[in-house]
Amino acid sequence: SQKIEQNSEALNIQEGKTATLTCNYTNYSPAYLQWYRQDPGRGPVFLLLIRENEKEKRKERLKVTFDTTLKQSLFHITASQPADSATYLCALMKTSYDKVIFGPGTSLSVIP
C-alpha cells in the first residue's frame, strides 16, 4: 500500500541555521509533491508545489527538491526563525485531478 514517511523525530534547530525536512514515499508515483505548514489548532497552509519533472523549486527562504528515483523530497528553510516553528506536511498527488495524500508531518522548533 502507499506509504509516506517524514522525519520520525521532532526537529530542533538554532535560529539562523538551515532546517532540512525529509519526505520519503513508497508504492506511489506522484506527478506533484506539495509542502504545507500547520500551526497548532489550525488547518494546513500551502507553501510550495514541485512537479515530477522539476528537480528544485525555491520561494524566498524555502527550497524543495524532488528525486523521483530515490522517491524522496527534501524541504529546506534557510536562515530559520522562531516564527518558522510549526509542523510541516508533505503531500502527494498522482495527477492534477487526483486526491491529495498527506504524510504524518514533522514538527520543527527553531530555538532563539
Name the site residues for another protein (rule: CB under 8 A): 4, 32, 34, 41-46, 49, 89, 91, 93, 96-97, 99-105
The nearest distance, CB 22 to another protein, in angstroms, is 14
The nearest distance, CB 7 to another protein, in angstroms, is 13
The nearest distance, CB 3 to another protein, in angstroms, is 12
State how far the Cα of 71 lies from the Cα of 58, in Å rounded to an integer: 19
**What is the secondary structure of 12-37 as a DSSP string?**
EEETTSPEEEEEEEES---SEEEEEE
Q: Which is nearer to another protein, 13 or 49 (CB)?
A: 49
Q: Which is nearer to another protein, 100 or 111 (CB)?
A: 100
Of 52, 82, 78, nearest to 63 by C-alpha is 78
The nearest distance, CB 43 to another protein, in angstroms, is 3
Contact 50, 73 (CB under 8 A): yes
Q: Which is nearer to another protein, 8 or 69 (CB)?
A: 8
Q: Which is nearer to another protein, 15 or 98 (CB)?
A: 98
| 3-state SS class at 108 | strand
